[in-house]
Amino acid sequence: MTASRAPAEPTVREFEATVDRVDGREVVLDETYFYPESGGQPADRGTLDGHLVDDVVEREGEVVHALAPDAAVDLAPGDEVTGLVDDAFRTYCARAHTASHVLYGAVRRIAEDLGYAGFDISETKVRVDLTTAEPLDDGDLVELERLANRAVWDSLSVSWGTHSAEAARDIDGIAFNTKTEEGAMSGGDAVRVVTVGGGADAGDGTDAGDGTDAGGAAADPDAEPWDVAACGGTHVENTAEIGPIAVLERSNPGEGVTRVEFAVGPTAIDELGAVHAAALDAATTLDARVGDLPDAVSRLRDEADRLESDLRDAREELLAARLRDLPTAEVDGARWAIGAVDDADPNELREPATEAVGGDTDLDAIAAVGTGDAPFVVVAAAEGTADGDAAGAEIDAGEVVGAVTDEFGGGGGGGPTFAQGGGLDADPEAVAAWLRER
């Protein structure tokens, strides 16, 4: 069995080892500092004696180094080789992985019934999946970013050590999910625990290797940890090494699960710069300071709502006028306005149609036939016409719409004073002509 030394000694970038086995492009060493893909952290990159390492996986207790497909493998068991771990990528992964712990610690402080559902590191962002009693909103994202960056600024120590499974589960507040943190289970009863801040696992950044906590006095043993989690990944030794954290967005990939995506490093710097630039641009457009943007946007929204209301009222008045101007006809002793109406839908016509009949108007009823891909009909009748108050006429809007749909197809319904039907299979002018000649 050859376990990776990367989690215990994440700062090692160059090492010497002996080839234990070669199988095609796959190489197993007697020991390695390459990190195999596990628990959401991608595999290390690098070289073995100049051979490009394409992938690193753990299989049946062995760390297997897969060399690049086009590599001419000239290694054999017993060869002494030099391993070089890609410094930039390892550093990014260590910072990103530690940042996920910092973010989880921040969520601890704003959410109830918190659970951990996994994470993943990509080259541009990190995702953390959480279960919380209530979904996180935009305000929560802002607070998470603030708390996480404050933890970075506070330069909290990061330490790791091994415990028995029973002892690990007894640690107060530990995030422990064997399905998503398989790398934490190093075999047998040993569980690797990473602590951010505080002194529960405070040490010198190394595993003791004997099932006990790492020694040393890098942190105050009486301080409360920012975060404690079972974890098999590589980490920095101090949160200050992470740099800025930019929370990008949230989503809900499953019932009860909130996914938070964030960035560290250059991507985070670019994101924060883009947000600042957008805020400055918006402030310039609104003739306001960045800090006054919420008030400026609120005023703009109020103005937009007022204009929208005015526009809606004006459109209703225009539609009412168009309805009153439709050709009129006497039908069964009642005065009707009947015709086709363009650029309107049934919902828009309801209020102006009901207002255009009865009262001070000389119309007893209106029948408007909508044009377009799906012709429709709306009928409005003045109050009382259903009882015969309009020169003896009896008008029931619902019955009229029913007669139209019986004649031209489609369906609809409504009451005595207003009804509508859709899906008519006829030319709107033909429907209007039929209504006049009933």
What is the tens place of the pLDDT at every residue in 118-157? 899 999 999 999 998 888 999 999 999 999 999 999 999 9
User: 14-85 in CATH: which number?
Assistant: 2.40.30.130
Separation of alpha carbons 221 and 206, rounded Å: 17
Which range is least confidently modeled, 249-258, 281-290, 384-393? 384-393
Buried b (16+ CB within 10 A) or exposed e, 376-403: bbbbbbbeebbeebbeebbbbbbbbbbe
CATH class of domain segment(s) 91-278: alpha beta
- The vertex-101 CA angle with 170 and 138, nearest 5°, equals 120
Phi-psi region of 230 (alpha: psi -120 to 50; beta: other; left: phi over 0): beta
CB atoms within 10 A of CB 281: 10
- Of 42, 35, 34, the closest CA to residue 17 belongs to 34
pLDDT, tens digit, 9 for 90 and up, residues 21-79: 999 999 999 999 999 999 899 999 999 999 999 999 999 889 999 999 987 888 999 99
- Residue 330 above 70 pLDDT? yes
- Residue 206 above 50 pLDDT? no
End-to-end Cα spacing for the chain: 92
Contact predicate 193/162, CB 8 Å: yes
Contact predicate 73/87, CB 8 Å: no
- Residue 218 above 50 pLDDT? no
Nearest-10 crossing angle of helices 87-108, 265-285: 60
Confidence (pLDDT) at 213: 40
CB atoms within 10 A of CB 169: 12
Q: Which residues contact 36 (CB under 8 A, 6 or more apart)?
A: 4, 43, 56, 57, 58, 63, 64
Sheet holding 115-121, edge to edge: 115-121, 126-131, 257-264, 245-254
If one compares 240 and 383, the residue with the highest pLDDT of the two is 240
pLDDT, tens digit, 9 for 90 and up, residues 92-106: 999 999 999 999 999
Separation of alpha carbons 176 and 250, rounded Å: 23
- Of 47, 21, 20, 23, the closest CA to residue 33 belongs to 47
- pTM score: 0.71
Contact predicate 103/226, CB 8 Å: no
Return phi, psi of residue 259, to 5°: -105, 125
Mean pLDDT in residue range 272-291: 93
User: To which H or E segment does residue 313 belong?
Assistant: helix 293-324
- Of 140, 149, 138, 184, the closest CA to residue 164 belongs to 184
- Residue 215 above 50 pLDDT? no
Separation of alpha carbons 388 and 403, rounded Å: 19
CATH class of domain segment(s) 321-436: alpha beta
Separation of alpha carbons 65 and 294, rounded Å: 53
Confidence (pLDDT) at 282: 93
Listed by start position, the domains of the chain span: 14-85, 91-278, 321-436
User: To which H or E segment does residue 429 belong?
Assistant: helix 428-436
Residue 431, CA distances (Å) to 57, 93, 340 in order: 73, 70, 9
Separation of alpha carbons 202 and 367, rounded Å: 81
Question: Which ranges of 84-191 would DSSP assign to H, the alpha helix?
Answer: 87-108, 138-153, 165-169
Contact predicate 34/5, CB 8 Å: no
Sign for the pseudo-dihedral over CA of 394, 399, 403, 405: positive
